[in-house]
């Protein structure tokens, strides 16, 4: 919190997003018994020497006032939504090798599905779900921050979940008026969810947009995403809370524009060689008022990287991050399945040794 308030703590803060790794441990029955209770994941972070801020969650529940059917077929989860404008169908597939879900079929296949999608969102409502946020203050204690999600911005909701960037691109070209109408419906709907998140107990609110600049360039960001970012960053600040956005892809094409939107910090910044910007160059691209959070690629926690190379990489990152209190050391994006517990715990040792500020 000192760094996020422009102050200098005794050493660089270190936080790890363990959500993906925890899901792997639970799926493979590798989670130690002492961490299987509701408070266990918070103690696991503490025992590993990593601050807790995710697993993030949406502090609201969706209420669907439309006809919906969900069924399971093998490793697939199929959702069908019936509307006066036709049926929407989404397919999610479980990938056992990577312990995650994929979307082989999105609700929106072409611009012809946009009216049905607008109907679906016009009949989606939200209720607050704040209890987990309130409980986390006790469970996390002094080992992290309490963070909740707003929904994704409407354009990123379309690009990431509802349609995919290829379908969005064709819809923009083939039916711009219909696309604009749909974006207006989504914006009004997601604003309702954002309002509930704003009033949650969380001290920090994230827009989980998963922006990568090879997918969303400057023009699309300026037209569709930045207005949502600026409006809700302003509301978050007026509420006395801290704002951030999740950016876990390439940086050069868009990070300057994102940092100018007013966020307190940009989270999950992915460095070279996985991303396109070395940590040493981040300050050349990011607004001087914005804290930069990330620095260790997720794959570095696996045996693809040797212990010696891991230590050398983290020490190099710390050398840059300890020049001024504008950084939080984190994982970009998550600690993946099959990572070694010892590798995660090793970061605390390195931060204690090399994480003191040089100035």
Q: Tell me: the pLDDT tens digits for 259-306?
A: 999 999 999 999 999 999 999 999 999 999 999 999 999 999 999 999
Calpha distance 152→101 (Å, rounded) = 18
The pLDDT score that the predictor gives to residue 199 is 97
The pLDDT score that the predictor gives to residue 195 is 98
pTM equals 0.96
Residue 359 clears pLDDT 80, i.e. is over it = no
Beta strands in the chain (DSSP E): 60-64, 67-73, 76-83, 86-95, 100-105, 124-128, 147-149, 204-207, 242-246, 265-269, 291-297, 327-332
- Using CA atoms, how far residue 164 sits from 76, 104, 286, 358, in Å, is 19, 10, 28, 45
The pLDDT score that the predictor gives to residue 214 is 87
In Å, the largest CA–CA distance within the chain is: 64
Task: Name beta bridge partners: 93.
Answer: 76, 102
Burial of 288 (0-12, 13-18, 19+ CB in 10 A): exposed
The pLDDT score that the predictor gives to residue 348 is 98
Residue 56 clears pLDDT 90, i.e. is over it = no
Residue 256 clears pLDDT 70, i.e. is over it = yes
Work out the end-to-end distance of the chain between its first and last CA atoms, rounded to an integer number of angstroms.
19
Q: Could you give all domains of the chain from N- to C-terminal order, each with its CATH number?
A: 3-65+108-354 (3.20.20.210)
Q: Which residue is it, tokens 């018994």? A: 33
Residue 349 clears pLDDT 80, i.e. is over it = yes
The pLDDT score that the predictor gives to residue 11 is 95
Rounded to an integer, the average pLDDT of 165-172 is 97
- Using CA atoms, how far residue 345 sits from 23, 98, 276, 327, 341, in Å, is 18, 23, 27, 20, 6
pLDDT tens-digit series, residues 192-249? 999 999 999 999 999 999 999 988 999 999 999 999 999 999 999 999 999 999 998 8
Rounded to an integer, the average pLDDT of 125-130 is 98
Rounded to an integer, the average pLDDT of 154-180 is 97
Share of the chain above pLDDT 90, in %: 96
- Using CA atoms, how far residue 315 sits from 42, 106, 169, 312, in Å, is 26, 42, 42, 5
The pLDDT score that the predictor gives to residue 95 is 95
Calpha distance 42→140 (Å, rounded) = 6
Residue 42 clears pLDDT 90, i.e. is over it = yes
């Amino acid at each position: 919190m000192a760094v996020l308030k422009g102050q200098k703590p005794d050493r660089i803060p270190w936080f790890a997003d363990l959500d993906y790794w925890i899901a792997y441990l639970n799926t493979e029955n590798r989670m130690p018994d002492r961490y299987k209770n509701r408070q266990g994941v918070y103690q696991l972070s503490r025992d590993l020497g990593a601050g807790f801020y995710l697993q993030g969650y949406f502090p609201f529940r969706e209420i669907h006032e439309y006809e919906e059917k969900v069924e399971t077929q093998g490793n697939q989860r199929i959702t069908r939504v019936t509307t006066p404008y036709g049926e929407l169908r989404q397919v999610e597939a479980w990938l056992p090798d990577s312990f995650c879900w994929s979307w082989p079929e999105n609700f929106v296949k072409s611009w012809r599905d946009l009216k049905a999608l607008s109907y679906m969102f016009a009949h989606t409502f939200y209720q607050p779900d704040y209890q987990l946020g309130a409980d986390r203050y006790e469970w996390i204690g002094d080992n992290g921050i309490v963070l909740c999600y707003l929904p994704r911005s409407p354009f990123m909701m379309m690009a990431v979940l509802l349609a995919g960037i290829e379908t969005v691109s064709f819809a923009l070209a083939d039916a711009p008026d219909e696309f604009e109408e749909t974006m207006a419906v989504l914006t009004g709907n997601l604003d309702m969810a954002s309002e509930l998140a704003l009033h949650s107990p969380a001290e920090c609110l994230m827009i989980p947009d998963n922006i990568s600049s090879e997918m969303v360039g400057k023009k699309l960001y300026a037209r569709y995403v930045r207005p949502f970012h600026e409006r809700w960053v302003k509301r978050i600040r007026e509420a006395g809370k801290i704002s951030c956005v999740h950016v876990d892809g390439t940086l050069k094409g868009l990070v300057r524009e994102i940092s100018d939107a007013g966020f307190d910090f940009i989270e999950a910044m992915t460095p070279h060689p996985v991303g396109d910007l070395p940590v040493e160059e981040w300050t050349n691209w990011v607004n001087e008022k914005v804290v930069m959070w990330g620095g260790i690629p997720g794959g570095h926690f696996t045996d693809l990287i040797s212990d010696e190379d891991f230590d050398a990489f983290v020490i190099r990152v710390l050398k840059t991050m300890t020049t001024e209190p504008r950084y939080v050391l984190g994982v970009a994006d998550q600690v993946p399945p099959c990572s070694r517990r010892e590798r995660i715990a090793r970061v605390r040792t390195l931060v204690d040794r090399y994480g003191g500020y040089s100035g």
